[in-house]
Amino acid sequence: MSLIEGTAEKPDLTVISDSETLADIFYGDITPTEPYNNGTLKIMGQEDDIIRLDFISLMIWGE
């Protein structure tokens, strides 16, 4: 796994949001559910990869 700022050639998963929302998620101030539902957090990729990310978020945030 690698984290790249900018454009990757063929990313498996792309997370799109503003820096404030991402910081709030990673510091645990909010869960990813609300920003995902209101469109400020977008996840793009293959369904299998998105499901894996969802599973990880369930383990971390319990939602």
The token pair that represents 39 in the structure block: 């469109």
Neighbour tally for 25: CB within 10 Å = 22
d(CA 58, CA 7): 28
Does the pLDDT of residue 42 top 90, yes or no?
yes
Average pLDDT over residues 27-40: 90
Does the pLDDT of residue 59 top 90, yes or no?
no
